[in-house]
Amino acid sequence: MFDEMPEYICHKVVKSDQITQIIFHEGGDASIFLKNTSGAYHLPKTFIDRHHPVVGSYIVYYEDGYFSVSPAEPFEKGYSLK
């Protein structure tokens, strides 16, 4: 089935950085630290539960305002620095 499907190449522009540290808080929220930016970023429990960030994965921010987490291997295979 999949062999018959057409192939597509992604060419989105995103903002992203790699997670270097995660501090989980009581209640399920977390603070994350990123490789190339300073300070901690707060992530609510709903985001943590949906995206399951881990150290080494990437926070990805899309042009339309959506943000998510991508595992390192697929992100690094699919994106290159602009």
Q: What are the sequence ranges of the domains in the chain? A: 2-78
The helix (H) or strand (E) run that includes residue 75 is helix 72-78
65 CB contacts (<8 Å, ≥6 apart)? none
Supply the CATH classification number for the domain 2-78.
2.40.50
Q: What is the pLDDT of residues 7-65, one digit of tens each?
A: 888 788 999 999 999 999 999 999 999 999 999 999 999 999 999 999 999 999 999 99
Distances (CA, A) of 71 to 2, 6, 29, 42: 23, 25, 20, 19
The C-alpha atoms of residue 51 and residue 45 are separated, in whole angstroms, by: 10
Q: Closest Cα to residue 56, out of 34, 27, 28, 29?
A: 34
